[in-house]
Chain A
Amino acid sequence: MNGYRKYFGKKLLWFTITFVVAVLLNFILPRLMPGDPVAVITAKSAQGMSEASAVKEVYEHYAREFGVNDPMFKQFITYFKNALRGDFGLSFSQYPRKVSDIINDAIWWTVALQLPAIIVGWLIGNTLGALAAYIRKGFDKVIMPVALFLSSLPPFGMAVILLVLFAIKLEIAPTSGGYGFDMIPNFSWPFVKSVISHYQLPFWSIVVYATGGQAIGMRSMSIYELNADYVKYSRFLGIKDSKIVGYVFRNAMLPQITGLALSLGTMIGGALVAEIIFSYPGLGTTLLAGITMADYPLLSATTLIITFMVLLATFAIDIIYGFVDPRVKAAQFDE
């Protein structure tokens, strides 16, 4: 168990380092803009605001927060401290709302949508990939190109197609939003029903998108494993094929867990754009609002939160993986 503690410690250290780097990047990239960052940012965003006093307050707040007169290092410390406390300042476009409030409203929609969707997509994709590798022949000839095509389709493409098909043509699902536009969030049955019906299309478009890529990965992995020496050996000891297939899929699926961790960033990025197609009230839409309204504090905070979510998920997957796959233990713990 000592080995595992070491592994855990290493992963935790790694998580911390990447988080600091992520915050640093979030801090430094906009400062690479030519000219006075505060002027540029507020000039951009002032277009969206009507009250002169509001513009002034935003400017002052921002100048204070950016601390343009302080040395770079001190600026970063201030920024980092604020980020840790969840203080991202005030929104330009939805003044005087706090950025943290806006994000707090959006983040749970995204988590509740993407977490299950990616997991379901991962499961379906792995099952299909494994079946394609095992059955081969006709099934593989159909599943493989279809999966490849699906994973070639941009994630928002799947969203548009599902939207047109089910919401516009068949009219069996609502076109946009997270719940009926005439409703106020509460815990009544009609509201929950509305949320569920609005959930379907974004959910399935992310599932389909996630499925394609995973199926292809799992197929290659399973073919690789099916050719492994232990398969032949187990057969020659008289072990039943169904049992051996069990070994193979377990062994192929475990690396797919890391595969998920590594592709998580890309997947979430794609899924966020898919959210936008449905005007889903999650982080994707917040991100778009931040960009189109030139609301810099909102954009910056959203990207930071997204990065944080991806890092956290990757960390969690790594930890789980260390538990379930003895190959990791052998490879990592002995170092």
Chain B
Amino acid sequence: MKHILSQIFHTGKFTMGFCIFMGILLLMVFYPLINPGDPLKIVSIGTFARPGTYISLYDAVDSRLNTLKLDEAPANRLESVLKMEDRVKMVMWFEAVEIPIGHLNIHDTEALLALWEEHYDSTVRPEGMTKADRNYFQRLDESLNRVLVTKEKILATRDASTAELQEIRAIEDTDYVNLKNVANVKRLPLGTDNFGRDVLKELVAAIRTSLVIGLIAGTIATLIGLTLGLISGFIGGIVDDIIMFVTNIFTVIPAFVLLILISYSIGQDQRGPTTVAVVIGMTAWVWTARAVRSQVISLRNRDHVNLSKLSGHNLFLIIVTDILPYIASYVVMALILQISGAILAEAQLSMLGLGPKTTEVPTLGLMMNWSMLYTAHLNGYWWAYFPVLLTIALISFSLNLMNTGLDQVFNPTLRD
């Protein structure tokens, strides 16, 4: 046993797959400890908040202020207002009103701004420019003015009775607050999804559900496949014929179609993650049954099996002691493949709207489905779907890698 383990970990593929998978498991176990709470809680109003650190503005203005004199501050401010696309648009405006720009370098902020200051006029209506575009330029001009002229900002409260504004504090462009002094800071490393849920938290919960689905479905499929394969291979004869007949039929009829039909028939309300897992497991056993059967057939006439038969051992005992140990490695590999297959199957079912019902638990497939329904991919909200895709791929990849590693150890013909 120790020898086999050392051999398995000797293959780079298995070790790499094992490390990736352990990493995912660790994330799944420890992240909820750091960030506890309901993964489906809606934390942001509005959809798809960008990933990042959110500071409560309300708390920030009440925090202790420090004055920092930073030379780069104005430039940074300008940079945040004047993006590359704005610069391109500005040049377009110049062209629209036929102002010669000469050898203007679009990255030369000073020259660009000087030209803009000199020529921009909100009353000019260049031909062919829509109102939306004119409004855009107006807004750009205003925000540029705001940034360029650093005036202090006044913070005030409204008197409840007189409705007059009372100044509390003036905020200078050199005022800073220490992040530690702000009462409420929220980190959303992967932003929020279409419902305004914390994507990372949801993703971690989804990994758990999907792995459970994989495990249940994989176990069911492997058990059915193993049982049928053992019976069919060991007993042979008419039993074998019948089992193989059924197996062959379900080899060609796509499991995918059966999954759809069964899931649809079960109905949305009845479909919890466990039900979905069971259905997936019930449609995925075919491969395992075939593989186990052919292994058993190659074993059934070995000497030690014949000896057991002659000694009058019963069928169950022979299978458990003389057959199972020899195909154990094979069954483990089949189980691993089944788990990764089931996780993919859940994802595909969910993409078709036939996944587990959506209100209780997140799964990787459901997260993917929602982000697609809300066209996250068309609008550049990468954090809503890309981490999910990557997670599915990594889970499946790590399982496949481990399987390949095992295959190399137990199947000598594939050795390098």
- Min Cβ gap A118→B in Å is 14
Q: List 22 A-B contacts (CB under 8 A).
A: A29-B261, A30-B261, A136-B416, A148-B397, A148-B401, A149-B397, A152-B400, A153-B392, A156-B368, A160-B372, A163-B377, A164-B382, A168-B380, A220-B414, A223-B414, A264-B254, A273-B352, A288-B353, A306-B254, A307-B257, A310-B257, A314-B252
Contact of B393 among A136, A153, A224 (CB under 8 A): A153
B348 on the A face (CB < 8 A): yes
Please measure, in the bound complex, the distance between the C-alpha atom of A270 and the C-alpha atom of B416, giving whole angstroms. 32
B46 on the A face (CB < 8 A): no
User: Are the C-beta atoms of A30 and B352 separated by less than 8 Å?
Assistant: no
The residues in A between 129 and 150 inclusive whose CB is less than 8 angstroms from any CB of B are 136, 145, 148-149
Please measure, in the bound complex, the distance between the C-alpha atom of A315 and the C-alpha atom of B354, giving whole angstroms. 30
- Min Cβ gap A209→B in Å is 11
Please measure, in the bound complex, the distance between the C-alpha atom of A164 and the C-alpha atom of B386, giving whole angstroms. 10
User: Are the C-beta atoms of B252 and A310 separated by less than 8 Å?
Assistant: yes
> What's the tally of chain A residues with a CB closer than 8 Å to chain B?
55
Q: Which of B255, B262, B348, B382 has the most CB of A within 10 A?
A: B348
User: Are the C-beta atoms of B256 and A265 separated by less than 8 Å?
Assistant: yes
Contacts A148-B400, A152-B340 given; indicate if A157 touches B413 (C-beta within 8 A): no
- Min Cβ gap A130→B in Å is 15
User: Are the C-beta atoms of B351 and A18 separated by less than 8 Å?
Assistant: no
A interface secondary structure, majority: helix
The residues in B between 92 and 136 inclusive whose CB is less than 8 angstroms from any CB of A are none
User: Are the C-beta atoms of B254 and A269 separated by less than 8 Å?
Assistant: yes
Residues in B with CB closer than 8 Å to A21 are 249, 253
A25 on the B face (CB < 8 A): yes
- Min Cβ gap B59→A in Å is 37
Whose C-beta in chain A lies nearest to the C-beta of B259?
A269
B265 on the A face (CB < 8 A): yes
Residues in A with CB closer than 8 Å to B348 are 154-156, 269-270, 273
User: Are the C-beta atoms of B256 and A175 separated by less than 8 Å?
Assistant: no
B295 on the A face (CB < 8 A): no
A276 on the B face (CB < 8 A): yes
Whose C-beta in chain A lies nearest to the C-beta of B407?
A220
B344 on the A face (CB < 8 A): yes
Contact of B253 among A18, A148, A152, A276 (CB under 8 A): A18
**Which 10 A-B pairs give the minimum distances between C-beta atoms?**
A265-B254, A269-B256, A152-B396, A152-B397, A29-B261, A153-B393, A157-B389, A303-B257, A33-B265, A30-B265
- Min Cβ gap B16→A in Å is 8
B404 on the A face (CB < 8 A): yes
B378 on the A face (CB < 8 A): yes
The residues in A between 284 and 327 inclusive whose CB is less than 8 angstroms from any CB of B are 287-288, 291-292, 299-300, 303, 306-307, 310-311, 314
Please measure, in the bound complex, the distance between the C-alpha atom of A147 and the C-alpha atom of B309, giving whole angstroms. 45
B385 on the A face (CB < 8 A): yes
Chain A 29-49 interface mask (CB, 8 Å, partner B; 1/0): 110110000000000000000
A151 on the B face (CB < 8 A): yes
- Min Cβ gap A250→B in Å is 19
User: Are the C-beta atoms of A168 and B377 separated by less than 8 Å?
Assistant: yes
A262 on the B face (CB < 8 A): yes
The residues in B between 305 and 363 inclusive whose CB is less than 8 angstroms from any CB of A are 340, 344, 347-348, 351-354
User: Are the C-beta atoms of A311 and B252 separated by less than 8 Å?
Assistant: yes
Residues in B with CB closer than 8 Å to A276 are 351-352
Whose C-beta in chain A lies nearest to the C-beta of B347?
A154
Residues in A with CB closer than 8 Å to B397 are 148-149, 152
A227 on the B face (CB < 8 A): yes
Please measure, in the bound complex, the distance between the C-alpha atom of A108 and the C-alpha atom of B149, giving whole angstroms. 63
User: Are the C-beta atoms of B265 and A29 separated by less than 8 Å?
Assistant: yes
A331 on the B face (CB < 8 A): no
Residues in A with CB closer than 8 Å to B382 are 164
B54 on the A face (CB < 8 A): no
Please measure, in the bound complex, the distance between the C-alpha atom of A220 and the C-alpha atom of B401, giving whole angstroms. 14
Please measure, in the bound complex, the distance between the C-alpha atom of A22 and the C-alpha atom of B380, giving whole angstroms. 42
A194 on the B face (CB < 8 A): no
B56 on the A face (CB < 8 A): no
Residues in B with CB closer than 8 Å to A17 are 249
The residues in B between 365 and 416 inclusive whose CB is less than 8 angstroms from any CB of A are 368, 372, 377-378, 380, 382, 385, 389, 392-394, 396-397, 400-401, 404, 413-414, 416
- Min Cβ gap B345→A in Å is 9
Whose C-beta in chain B lies nearest to the C-beta of A288?
B352
User: Are the C-beta atoms of A291 and B264 separated by less than 8 Å?
Assistant: yes
Residues in A with CB closer than 8 Å to B414 are 220, 223-224
A90 on the B face (CB < 8 A): no
Please measure, in the bound complex, the distance between the C-alpha atom of A119 and the C-alpha atom of B182, giving whole angstroms. 60
Please measure, in the bound complex, the distance between the C-alpha atom of A262 and the C-alpha atom of B291, giving whole angstroms. 13
Please measure, in the bound complex, the distance between the C-alpha atom of A29 and the C-alpha atom of B353, giving whole angstroms. 18
Contact of B261 among A26, A151, A175 (CB under 8 A): A26
Q: Can you name 15 extra interface pairs (CB under 8 A) apart from A149-B393, A306-B254?
A: A18-B249, A25-B253, A26-B261, A30-B261, A33-B265, A145-B401, A153-B392, A156-B347, A160-B385, A168-B378, A224-B414, A266-B254, A276-B351, A277-B372, A291-B264
